[in-house]
Amino acid sequence: MRRTFNYDIHNIITMRIAIEDYTSFKSNILRNKFANYEVKKNIDNPDLDILIGPFVPNKKDSYVVDNRYFIKENYIYCVRKHKIATWQVAVEGFGKDKTRIKIASNLPGWWVFPGDTIYSIIFFQLAIKGYAMLHASGATQNGRAYIFAGRSGTGKTITLLNLIRKGYGCLGDDSVIVGTKNVLSFIKPLNIRFTYDVEKLTGIKFNKKDRIAIALKNALRFLSIGHLNLFTKINIKEIFSGCLDNSAILEKIFFMTQGKNFNINRISCDNPFIKQMLINTQLEVEELCEYLLVYSYVFPEKISLDFWHNFEKIIKTNISKAKKYEVSIPRSYSISDFDQLYRKINERD
């Protein structure tokens, strides 16, 4: 049985996902990723048309790159792997306004391909339309947006949750969309990484089921000598009802890094800061980076490496008026560290 689900991301991108051999277990893994953008109306001509189920790839007359990628004009096919997860991907209409994606996955792949394949193509489509999806959390107050960018484990989520407790709105924990006028939300399930004492820092009280899951993940992290870090996914609506915001005008950006001590500095030169923002984002869309490289190798005149140059321009144009800071966060992020950051957020400078 096939089930179809429709999505609308801020009236910028429409998406339709059709699942062959539908089961509620597998589909819920996928649907939870995009739940905040699901709509009841049927979308007949979506920007992204995604079919999940068995398919026969169209390899005829393809250029083969690295014995893995099959490339034709506006077409990419490959098999992707992550540990025990394996899935096939065919992208039809690559670089076009309308794109079709076919995915056939083993069971473990259902936990991986939504965040790798589908997010990468959403990112790409947004950029084509002039929007930059940044790897950052975002909070709002009084119509103003505050962005916290950085790698995993630098305190983006803890900072966001503490701001929400203080009455701020939420634009996203992992990604936000920067446009010409506003910062737009991109809501995913919260990824809590237990480098910090989350309950102490945020006041969140987990239920018994979550506590058991947390204990098991901490045990696995200990037994693997820190090599296995598992996240706990939490629906932010279940913690703070009514906190989700749609958009706000960008006020300040904080680029967060790990350091020995807490430190915060205003950035006076835009270019290195924007490069940091670009690289931080590129690291989150590894699959798209590979697609752009192999496609440009075969068709350099179609979609060249200028994509990232143009993406950097989008970032620069849209954050030019915002105040920018670099923040060093110690590994043991404390409440006093957050209080210092909070003062800078509210400071008029």
List the single range of 83-92, 128-137, 158-167 with lowest mean pLDDT.
158-167
Split at pLDDT 50, 70, 90, the class of 119 is: very high
pLDDT at 43 over 90: yes
Average pLDDT on 131-140 reads 96
How, if at all, do strands 263-266 and 175-178 pair? unpaired
Q: What is the pLDDT of residues 230-255, one digit of tens each?
A: 666 666 766 666 888 999 999 999 99
Q: What is the pLDDT of residue 207?
A: 67
At 199 the pLDDT is 57
Structural tokens at position 12: 């910028």
Percent of the chain with pLDDT over 90: 60
pLDDT in tens, 190-231: 766 554 455 555 556 666 776 676 677 777 767 766 655 666
pLDDT of 227: 58
Confidence (pLDDT) at 311: 94
pLDDT tens, position by position, 272-293: 899 999 999 999 999 999 999 9
**Domain coordinates of the chain in residue numbers?**
3-128, 132-346
Average pLDDT, the chain: 87
Domain with residues 132-346, CATH architecture: Alpha-Beta Complex (3.90)
- Does residue 146 surpass a pLDDT of 80? yes
pLDDT for 304-343, tens place per residue? 668 999 999 999 999 988 999 999 998 888 889 999 999 9
| pLDDT confidence bin for 301, thresholds 50/70/90 | confident
Q: How confident is the model at residue 184 (pLDDT cuts 50, 70, 90)?
A: very high
Global pTM value:
0.87
